[in-house]
Structure 1
């Protein structure tokens, strides 16, 4: 098959954890990599990175990334321009695609138009919806919701991660259940796997005598980092020796860019850290490559995911594969991944006191951490990109 994959919102090959790049980018990277490995050709249409010029990047013989620069201050004109640029290239090079696979609602809108022009099926992953943001964050966006309704109604197939997502699409958007398919993302078990903690810390130059708490994600209010920092502050105030014996490592964001520190969320968190003299214990280290992430998972004692909402939670699956002890909020896809007390611990999102209590429980009990980590490693085996990609290919074939 030859597939046109549209990722208008962000380039999946930009550095993860920077700007809008995160779980969706990682999802697309792994999906196209696995599609390419079994012989399918994928052209990824996306926007230029921050400040970068337009270019076509050949990842390998089966995967290309085509970058377009469009007006992002006005997405309506940006979407129209992006669509026209796609049409021009496809006609000029006489490309025959078999189907479209679009990620996020903006891409879905482009996909609807391209599907009509090329007379090929359109598949969409929303990754998150305005209805979910309104429910969990109180953020309303009627313009976006209107577009999502149109995409849900007109597209040929929708792929979601969990039963919860499918039910929400049916309930909130009147989606036809027959065209909504549940396929969970996977994890690369050749990369994310158990390593010796001492060696991992040595490679990363992390202290051997400290408890290490790890957060990985965009520095965005929805990721709930401020609640984790609040919980750590509570621990430091309650236990005088705590600050001397822990490190909170925060991976995500472009910490070398001055604008990062001016971000409202970052500035508020940093102010909290400084006011409690915890600069030596809590470190923003910015984003890092996927090849380095397994070392951080293995170097940590606890991986915390305090999100207010997660459609799935790729960070949790990666942590599970590394047999990490996981503490996560009881929201979205995280409820499906974590069996409370078996392969991780759950807490009510936004509940700082509960987070503080469960964090202290895990910090104080190595035996519990090891048990949860082993069970998490076993649970991760059901999430394999090779097999999940086969399921997605079957959906493609059904539409052709």
Structure 2
């Protein structure tokens, strides 16, 4: 996954890491897919083109010290060519979907996932739950697995005066703004979010919901919009994708960030919101269960609109709880600063 002008947020976390590593003096070639369209024809076309891009790097293969594949399968498969042909060290990063979804599609893909993991010189996972899956589910030695998330850029996702930032984004200061950032897909829990928000707003009557992200399916987007009650249409806004600098402003301006995912490898956007001093309500799944534990955020039952509504109401209306969440979030943002994560990756490359 990699961003393009048409899809500016698609795999942006990968590009951010690549560009940050280049700034530290690493010489990096990329073979990437910047097409986020679904459908069998598009999938065959985009993965075919991406595979050819990867193979086109083989002539330079002898010069590479490391090949780093993001996502185990299919990315790790052509990356293995370099290891087999030239003895290049292979590192794979699991972001979650490759284990939670891809490896469960059929027995052959699971077999290939296991093979790639076994062949890799080191495995990076973005969350603790994924580490457990790699070790216990695929038999990889714990010494060969590191938990390194993509890190948060604290220059982009920084706290800003909320009232001034709201004014800059033309947001009303008289209402409280709830923010979601992510792809508009079912697995992000958007159905539950719209149900929970509308129910809560019937009682609160001073809330606005902002949904920022790329649509993957026009029909799903229309389904979401059709579920909005007539009296709520002015309170729910779909903004489409935004560049990172703008997303950083939205994070800082929001009164609450919500991530009701059904599955989540790590939940970097939740960390970005915490870095901007905005409290988070999220599903108790995957990496979010680890990220938001011990009072860092409000964890709620996944796929449960009522539980999500209660979590949102609790954080919105309890000022002492909000302050505690913000304080803990700042601590986590410092621990997961992008610079810290980059040094850990470079150390693995060197090793």
Is residue 26 from structure 1 mapped to residue 12 from structure 2 by the alignment? Answer: yes
1:360 aligned residue: 313
Query: TM-score with structure 2 length normalisation?
Result: 0.90
Is residue 269 from structure 1 mapped to residue 224 from structure 2 by the alignment? Answer: yes
Matching residue within 267, 273, 277 for 1:323: 277
Q: Is the 8 A contact 1:325 1:369 kept in 2?
A: yes
Give deviations 1:158-189, integer Å, cap 9, x for gaps.
10123321110122222233321222331111
Query: TM-score with structure 1 length normalisation?
Result: 0.79
2:186 aligned residue: 221
Matching residue within 16, 21, 40 for 1:35: 21
Q: Give how far 1:15 is off.
A: 6.1
Q: Is the 8 A contact 1:193 1:323 kept in 2?
A: yes
Evaluate the alpha carbon distance shift between residue 306 and residue 15 of structure 1 in structure 2; reply closer, same or farther with a 3 A threshold: farther
- Mapping of 1:1-400 within 5 angstroms? 10-12=1-3, 21=10, 25-47=11-33, 49=35, 72-73=43-44, 81-88=52-59, 90=60, 96-104=63-71, 105-129=73-97, 131-133=99-101, 140-237=105-202, 239=203, 242-243=204-205, 245-253=206-214, 263-273=218-228, 275-340=229-294, 342-398=295-351
Question: Any runs of at least 4 consecutive aligned residues in structure 1 with deviations exceeding 6 A, and if so which?
Answer: none
Distance (whole Å) between structure 2 residues aligned to residue 307 and residue 315 of structure 1: 12
Q: Is the 8 A contact 2:213 2:240 kept in 1?
A: yes
Q: Give how far 1:201 is off.
A: 0.6
The alignment partner of 1:328 has SS state of: strand
Distance (whole Å) between structure 2 residues aligned to residue 158 and residue 50 of structure 1: 25
Give deviations 1:322-381, integer Å, cap 9, x for gaps.
1111111111111221135x3221111112111111212222233432332233122211
Q: Is the 8 A contact 2:4 2:34 kept in 1?
A: no
Instruction: Report how many residues are paired.
Output: 347
Q: Is the 8 A contact 1:108 1:124 kept in 2?
A: yes
Kindly indicate which of the two structures has a greater share of residues assigned to helix.
2
Evaluate the alpha carbon distance shift between residue 225 and residue 131 of structure 1 in structure 2; reply closer, same or farther with a 3 A threshold: same
Evaluate the alpha carbon distance shift between residue 278 and residue 26 of structure 1 in structure 2; reply closer, same or farther with a 3 A threshold: same
Q: Give how far 1:142 is off.
A: 3.5
Q: Which runs of 5+ in 2 are unaligned?
A: none
Q: Give how far 1:318 is off.
A: 0.6
Q: CA RMSD in A?
A: 2.6
Q: Is the 8 A contact 1:214 1:248 kept in 2?
A: yes
1:56 aligned residue: none
The alignment partner of 1:106 has SS state of: coil
Q: Is the 8 A contact 2:2 2:32 kept in 1?
A: yes
